[in-house]
Structures are given as C-alpha cells and as structure tokens.
C-alpha cells in the first residue's frame, strides 16, 4: 500500500492545500473563487474514491491471517478518508453556483443543491437521466445538442424562470464534463436600472436642450459682434448635446428590442444616399467612391440599417485627413454578403479595437471633440447588426487607415426583384 500519507495529518493537509490552490486559480481566472474550489473538490472526491478502491483490493490480496495491526491502520485510514469525502461533498453541495457532473453521453452523474434550484433537477430520479432530455423545453437543451462550444449567457433558469443564468460546459476527467451555471439576476437588474436611467434622463434633457438651441438660433451674431464667437460656440455645443441625447435614445430603443420589422432594403439607392451624405459632410476634402458587386438586397429595418451603415462612412470622413480616400464596398461572400468602409485615415492601435463599440469610448478624446463625434455611433452600429444577426469586424493599423466590415448571412439576402418573404 502506498506510504504517501502514513501520518494522520498529511491527508487532510493535502486536501486543504488542494482547495486553497483551486481558490487561487479561480481568483486569477477572473474572480471565480467558488468555481475553482468546486472543481478541485470534485477532483479530490474522485481521487479519494480511487484510493479507497485500491486499498480495498490490496487488503483482499492478503491472507486471512494478516496482522491485525495492519488491518486496524487500514480501517482508521478508511474512516478518515470517508470523513474527508463527506466534507468535500458537503462543500461542493453548498456552492451558490449550480454544478452538474456529466458522463460522455451527457447523463447526469451528480449535482449539488444549487442545481436543484437553478436547473430544476431532482434527486434521485434525475441521476442517470439525459440532461438535454430533462431540460427539453428550455434554451439549454438546444445549446447542449449543438455542442455547447461557447458559454451560454443571460438565459432564463429552468428551475426559476424569473432568474437569469450564465452556463458553461467544461471537459473534466476521463471523458466527463462539468456543467456550471451562475445566477446573474442581480447583474441583469442593475443593467435594466441603467437602461431605464439613461432613457429617462435623455427624455428629460431633450426639451430644455431644444428650447436653449431655439433661443440661440434667434440671436443674430451680427447684432452683437462682440459676442459672435461665444454665440457660435454655444450653438455648436448645444447642437452636439442634442445629438448625444438623440443617440442615447436610439441606443435605449435598440437595447429593448429583440427583433426588427423585416422589409426589403434596396441596397443600390441606399448606397447612393450614403455616398451623397458623405460628400456633403466631406465638402470636397476626400475622394469618396462606391464599389457594389453583390447585386443583392437586404432583409431588415431600413431606418436602422441606414443609421448603422451611414455611421461608418461619417466616421471615416471625420477621422480621415484632407485628401484621403474613402471606399464603400458591397460584395458577396460564400457565407452571405459584406458591407465595408475603408479609409486612409489615422488608423487605430490594436489595443483599442476590442473596446471601440463601448459607449463613449474614444481612442483620442481631443480628436473626437474636434470632429463632432458623440462616442455612441459604433455602439449603435453593434446593436443594429445584432438585431439583424450580423457582426462587425474592424481591421486597422496606425498610419495605414481602417476597414469596418458588416457581415450579413445568406438568410438576410434578397435577390433584386424577388418576392419579399412574409
């Protein structure tokens, strides 16, 4: 029999040390201390069971006349291991996150108390049950059948429909998997409070800003030449504040939508309109061209798609120096079609690309203020594309310009002249 834990204190110390290591790893991986402890606890349970099985086999190979002292030592260790096993199971069972141990075919082998609340699993009838069949009426079942390659975020908890959870499926042990579900209801409530606050404040600001801007327009700078610079600056800033409020209201509307009213979006006239708007904003400072080879229309919201696609072009105009080139492309791909805007502007460092669609995020605050941007345009683009099951891709290099691409799937494409789907 192995001599690794001959002294009574060594096994509990090793188990406790393993739990501390799991907590540290979980904290370093994003603050998930409980998840790290759970994973280590389950591994230790498996190892303890394996050790007990080996020790039992070892005892059975000895003759019936084996020394009684060795038998007593074995029984003492077995009781100690059984006690540690109960403690580990109790700790894993008390975790606030749902933990479900699955075999290779996704049969339930074990689950803790949180899984009963969040996922609606029940003892003993759900032990050995196929998980996606047990959750057949929920989004989790579809996610599991599709392979669960990516975490599933913000879905209703099967056991508590008024709660929201994030779910992850991890490989574990030999051909086993570990399903973790975390309750994020408090985060969802905070996000809803933020949305309501932004929408309410934006509505309240719209009226006073309109009044202020209206009175400023009534004052002719020629009547008070000494105040002309001040009045012009006040007009510009009140107009910019009004645009920020309108963009915030647009974002609030998009965030509360889960679908759009589909209609045919004719791309040829839309591209022509976007080009005219870009030329008016550029005032001859840039070379603006359109390359359309897709010969396809889009299915979606005309208003929202116009807002998103024109926003990318107006950004290119604002951040491209005088004399630069801006190219608008609409072309087919094997997966669908892509709308892209390429400029010869300043370019964006790679460290900023992942955060460009955040509200009010700016690569250069001074340059954004000079150009008149609100810092909300790319957030609007991202939400519009999400509603159309499309995605935004950004390629940029400092000093060599940028390309912003909107990728649409084949399901969103319509041949010109074809009948619109109902």
Is residue 308 within 8 A of residue 251, CB to CB? The reply is: no
Is residue 158 within 8 A of residue 135, CB to CB? The reply is: yes
In this structure, what token pair is assigned to residue 411?
Answer: 């399901």
Q: How far apart are CA 147 and CA 166, in angstroms?
A: 16
Among 149, 184, 219, the domain-final residue is: 184
Whether residue 280 is found in the same domain as residue 417: yes
Parallel, antiparallel or unpaired: strands 413-414 and 263-265:
unpaired
pLDDT per residue, tens digit, the chain (422 aa), is 444 555 555 666 666 666 666 666 666 666 666 666 666 677 667 666 666 665 555 555 554 554 577 767 777 777 777 777 676 666 666 678 888 888 888 888 888 888 888 888 888 888 888 888 888 888 888 888 888 888 888 888 888 888 889 998 888 777 888 888 888 888 888 888 888 888 888 888 888 888 888 888 888 888 888 888 898 888 888 888 888 888 888 888 888 888 888 899 999 999 999 999 999 999 999 999 999 998 899 999 999 999 999 999 999 998 899 999 999 999 999 999 999 999 998 888 888 888 888 888 777 655 555 555 677 889 999 999 999 999 999 999 888 899 999 999 999 999 887 666 55
pTM for the model: 0.63
Asked whether residue 246 is domain-assigned, the answer is: no
Asked whether residue 140 is domain-assigned, the answer is: yes
Among 169, 184, 199, the domain-final residue is: 184
Q: How far apart are CA 323 and CA 3, in angstroms?
A: 79
Q: How far apart are CA 360 and CA 362, in angstroms?
A: 6
Q: Can you give the residue range of the structural domain that contains 360?
A: 260-421
Q: How far apart are CA 259 and CA 389, in angstroms?
A: 10
Q: How far apart are CA 236 and CA 233, in angstroms?
A: 5
Among 155, 184, 213, the domain-final residue is: 184
Q: How far apart are CA 57 and CA 93, in angstroms?
A: 29
Is the bond leading into 124 cis (omega within 30 degrees of zero)? yes
pLDDT of residue 241: 87
Asked whether residue 345 is domain-assigned, the answer is: yes
Whether residue 290 is found in the same domain as residue 161: no
pLDDT of residue 1: 40
Whether residue 272 is found in the same domain as residue 369: yes
Is residue 179 within 8 A of residue 168, CB to CB? The reply is: yes
- Give the burial class of 205: count Cβ atoms within 10 A of its Cβ; 0-12 exposed, 13-18 middle, 19 or more buried: middle
Task: Give me the CATH number covering residue 357.
Answer: 3.30.565.10
Is residue 383 within 8 A of residue 254, CB to CB? The reply is: yes
Total count of domains within the chain = 2
Asked whether residue 15 is domain-assigned, the answer is: no
Whether residue 276 is found in the same domain as residue 387: yes
Q: How far apart are CA 359 and CA 158, in angstroms?
A: 33
3-state SS of the chain is: CCCCCCCCCHHHHHHHHHHHHHHHHHHHCCCCHHHHHHHHHHHHHHHHHHHHHHHHHHHHCCCCCCCHHHHHHHHHHHHHHHHHHHHHHHHHHCCCCEEEEECCCCEEEEECHHHHHHHCCCCCCCCCCEHHHHCCCCHHHHHHHCCCCCCEEEEECCCCCCCEEEEEEEEECCCEEEEEEEECHHHHHHHHHHHHHHHHHHHHHHHHHHHHHHHHHHCCCCCCHHHHHHHHHHHHHHHHHHHHHHHHHHHHHHHHCCCCCCEEECHHHHHHHHHHHHHHHHCCCCEEEEEECCCCEEEECHHHHHHHHHHHHHHHHHCCCCCCEEEEEEEEECCEEEEEEEECCCCCCHHHHCCCCCCCCCCCHHHHHHHCCCCCHHHHHHHHHHHCCCEEEEEECCCCCEEEEEEEEHHHEECCCCCCCC
Whether residue 176 is found in the same domain as residue 280: no
Task: Give me the CATH number covering residue 177.
Answer: 3.30.450.20
Whether residue 175 is found in the same domain as residue 268: no
Whether residue 406 is found in the same domain as residue 274: yes
Asked whether residue 71 is domain-assigned, the answer is: no
Question: Which residue do the tokens 């739990």 mark?
Answer: 19
């Amino acid at each position: 029999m192995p001599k690794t834990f001959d002294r009574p204190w060594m096994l509990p110390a090793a188990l406790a040390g393993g739990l501390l290591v799991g907590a540290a790893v979980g904290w370093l991986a994003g603050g998930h201390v409980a998840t790290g402890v759970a994973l280590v606890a389950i591994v230790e349970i498996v190892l303890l069971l394996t050790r007990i099985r080996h020790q039992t086999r070892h005892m059975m190979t000895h003759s019936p006349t084996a020394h009684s002292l060795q038998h007593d030592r074995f029984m003492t260790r077995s009781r100690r291991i059984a006690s540690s096993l109960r403690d580990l199971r109790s700790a894993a069972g008390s975790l606030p996150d749902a933990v479900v141990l699955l075999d290779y075919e996704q049969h339930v082998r074990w689950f803790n108390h949180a899984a009963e609340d969040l996922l609606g699993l029940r003892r003993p009838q759900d032990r050995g049950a196929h998980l996606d069949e047990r959750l057949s009426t929920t989004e989790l079942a579809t996610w599991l059948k599709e392979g669960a390659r990516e975490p599933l975020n913000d879905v209703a908890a099967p056991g508590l429909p008024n709660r929201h959870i994030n779910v992850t499926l991890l490989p574990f042990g030999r051909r086993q998997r570990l399903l973790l579900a975390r309750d994020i209801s408090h985060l969802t409530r905070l996000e809803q409070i933020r949305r309501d606050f932004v929408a309410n404040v934006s509505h309240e600001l719209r009226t006073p800003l309109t009044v202020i801007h209206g009175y400023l327009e009534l004052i002719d700078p020629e009547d008070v030449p000494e105040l002309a610079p001040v009045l012009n600056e006040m007009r510009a800033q009140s107009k910019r504040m009004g645009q920020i409020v309108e963009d915030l209201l647009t974002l609030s509307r998009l965030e509360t939508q889960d679908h759009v009213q589909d209609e045919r979006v004719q791309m040829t006239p839309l591209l022509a309109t976007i080009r005219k708007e870009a030329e008016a904003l550029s005032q001859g400072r840039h070379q603006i061209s359109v390359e359309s080879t897709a010969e396809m229309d889009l299915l979606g919201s005309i208003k929202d798609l116009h807002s998103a696609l024109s926003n990318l072009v107006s950004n290119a105009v604002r951040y491209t120096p005088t004399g630069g080139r801006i190219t608008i492309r609409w072309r087919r791909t094997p997966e669908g079609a892509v709308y892209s805007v390429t400029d010869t502007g300043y370019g964006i460092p790679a460290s900023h690309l992942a955060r460009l669609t955040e509200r009010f995020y700016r690569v250069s605050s001074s340059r954004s203020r000079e150009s008149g941007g609100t810092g909300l345009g790319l957030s609007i683009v991202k939400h519009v594309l999400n509603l159309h099951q499309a995605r935004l891709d950004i390629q940029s290099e400092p000093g060599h310009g940028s390309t912003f691409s909107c990728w649409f799937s084949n399901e969103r494409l319509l041949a010109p002249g074809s009948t619109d789907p109902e």
